[in-house]
Amino acid sequence: MMTNKNHSRVRLALLLGLFSTLGPFTIDMYLPAFPEIVKQFDTTASLVQLSLTACLLGLGIGQLVMGSLSDVHGRRNPLLISMAVYALASLACAFSPNIGLLIAFRFIQGFAASAGIVISRAIARDLYSGHELTKFFSLLLLVGNLGPLVAPVTGSGILSFTTWIGVFIALALLGIYLLTMTKWGLQETLPADRRRPSNFVQQLRNYGTLLRDRQFVGYMLAQGIMIAGVFAYVSGTPFIYQNIYGASPTVFALLFGSNGISLIIGSQLVGRMTHRISERAFLLFGLWLACLASVTVLVVAIVHGPLFTLVIPLFFFVAAIGITSTAAFPLAMESQSHMAGSAAALLGVIPFLLGAVVSPLVGIAGEDTAVPLGVIILLTSVAAMLAYFLLIRRSPRGAAKVSSM
């Protein structure tokens, strides 16, 4: 029988996981509509992908701002304001008259959504540390990773009876729901005596302190660069699956959503085995798995292999993200309890900023080749591996295993 403590932890993970899914839903739900949006605005695939880039920039920059604000003003009030802005920005996206305004409103939407991601992780660090943080974070990811699984399928379902506008109206309703959940279902976890001074210069110093921590930067880059590769996958597969391989929006949504399963497998593997295998060992395993999978993707893209030969290595590549993210986050956050919001913000901003850079590159050679995707995810895998060996492996504290509470 589940104890009250375990029941409370699961309930909190469900609630925080909902905020974590806001990122995947904001990014993924409209992906099946990419070709439709191109026709609607009589524009190019690169400009539509730029709307994704704008959202990623908003998600990245927003985390820096919201992470610091949550260290100063607590976790709850910034969430309330952000969810209200998110709902309004989603409606603005729905009724954008041209691609330029859609891109602008997507940035605002991503900025507001960032609060759900960074503050939910800061709350986790407020309450847990050590192996308990690893286990709770894997539980949070179990819920949060349902976003990539459900979002494209949901978007495809909406597109089956309405246009892409309906997708953004649905996102507005999601924002209203999360606003309600924040108001009535979330308690403050950062008491006033643990908050940072409301000083912009001091907030910059906090980031400077974190960026001078070699071990923290190593974990941040290893995790962030890997996730940037996933954003290349997110940006490229709508055109690769539908234009190159002729998949319907529904088939695309199922193929894309199936990788939510691989994320869950990867994250839960770390959460359940953390007492037997160190987080650092899992991180290295995930990096090697990503390298092998990305090499396979590039080879398949070059020879234009069948669809299943592309889907399978991408499945393992995304699983590697689940492993590396779950392992790197507690390792990076362990010594940052005094500025968890700022630390969580830096851990969150790097993936989105790098993702914003690599996403448009996937379509640089046109819509009829998957080779750029293979090249980009291979480069990100190798770069993440270099960050591990140059910054973590050589760090005096690099061999340290996360300790229990």
Q: How far apart are CA 203 and CA 189, in angstroms?
A: 20
Exposed/middle/buried for residue 319 (C-beta within 10 Å: 0-12, 13-18, 19+): buried
pLDDT of residue 133: 78
pLDDT score, position 93: 95
CB 369 within 8 A of CB 245: no
Superfamily (CATH) of domain 10-184+198-392 = MFS general substrate transporter like domains (1.20.1250.20)
pLDDT score, position 136 = 81
**How far apart are the C-alpha atoms of 329 and 136, rounded to whole Å?**
11
- The dihedrals phi and psi of 333, each to the nearest 5 degrees, come to -85, -15
pLDDT at 54: 92
Q: In tens digits, what is the pLDDT along the chain, a chain of 405 residues? A: 445 566 677 778 788 888 888 888 898 888 888 888 988 898 888 788 889 889 988 988 888 888 888 888 888 999 999 999 999 999 999 999 999 999 999 999 999 999 998 898 888 888 887 777 777 877 777 776 677 667 777 888 888 888 899 999 999 999 999 999 888 888 888 887 777 776 667 777 878 888 888 889 999 999 989 988 887 887 788 778 888 888 887 788 788 777 778 888 888 888 788 778 888 899 999 999 999 999 999 999 999 989 889 999 999 999 998 899 888 888 888 766 667 777 878 887 787 778 778 877 776 656 677 888 889 999 999 999 999 999 987 655 544 444 433
Of 70, 79, 78, 72, residue with least CA distance to 195: 72
d(CA 301, CA 239): 14
pLDDT of residue 231: 79
Encoded tokens for 258 = 């199936």
Q: Report pLDDT for 43.
A: 86
